[in-house]
Amino acid sequence: MADQHIHDHDHDEEEDRIIIPDENGEEHLFDVLFTFDVEETGKSYMVVKPVETPEDAEDDDYDEVFGFRYEESDDDFKLFPIETDEEWEMVEEMINTFADSEL
């Protein structure tokens, strides 16, 4: 999968929400949980969760989150899939830190 372009990144709402198209072009609304930058690599990351629970979710405690690397310029915003184990480990550590602080 190449890069994913964001169609909407609304900073005016209390919670940031973005629309991310899937591989079929279907758009899905996500809450932005948090973003963070890694100074050593100069890369930025975003963790989001779906606003709506998928119909095929098996229980009421469904709470799937997704991590992406992102780049933002004056007129463009792009999401990229996280491809390396090292990046995933870093994002998972940030998700765990975020979850611990929310308890």
**Tens of pLDDT along 44-82?**
999 999 998 766 656 555 578 999 999 988 888 899 999
- Res 82: pLDDT: 93
Chain segment 80-93, per-residue pLDDT in tens: 999 899 999 999 99
**Rounded distance between C-alpha atoms, residue 2 and residue 24, angstroms:** 13
Residue 11: pLDDT band with limits 50, 70, 90:
very low
- Residue 40's domain comprises 4-102
pTM of the model: 0.73
Rounded to the nearest integer, the mean pLDDT of the chain is 80
Name the domain count of the chain. 1
Using DSSP bridges, classify how beta strands 43-50 and 27-38 pair: parallel, antiparallel or unpaired: antiparallel
Asked if 18 contacts 4 with a C-beta cutoff of 8 angstroms, the reply is no
